[in-house]
Amino acid sequence: MLAYKQRLGIKDMAKGSNDSGMEEVEFEAGNFEVAAEFLLKIGLIKKFSQEKKRTTWKKGPVSYDIDTWPKLEPYLEVEGPDWETVDAAIVELGIDLKDKKICSTTQIYELNGIHDKDFSIMTFKEFVKRT
């Protein structure tokens, strides 16, 4: 998948506040190497490489994704058209809403003591710090 993501209204998660969502545009690229070459050819530079594994389920307008990132325990991401729908889906799973976090993967890395922006490569095979 090739995705554009912009975090909207990010706030300090450490103080218990959340953000106001994410603007996303994504599509299936089909071939990683060709997509990477395309991005370089249109003038973008490679900032860092990051890998994840995702398993997705859908029920109605809700997507349930189990994301696995290097050096993190897998976690559940629930997305829907609005917060009420997401909250109802979380409750339906038997998860207490007080355990819900609205945050980015960068913030999850931070909660685990890892500053992902300190790395140039983050894959399941290699974790390379910026020089």
User: Per-residue pLDDT for 53 more than 90?
Assistant: yes
Mean pLDDT of 64-74: 97
Instruction: Report percent pLDDT > 70 for the chain.
Output: 91
- CA nearest 109: which of 101, 97, 117, 100? 117
Per residue in 16-46, pLDDT (tens digit) is 445 566 788 989 998 989 999 999 999 999 8
- Which stretches of 2-129 are DSSP H helices? 32-41, 83-92, 105-111
Per-residue pLDDT, 10: 60
Delimit the domains of the chain by residue range: 1-46, 50-131
Per-residue pLDDT, 12: 56
Mean pLDDT of 35-64: 94
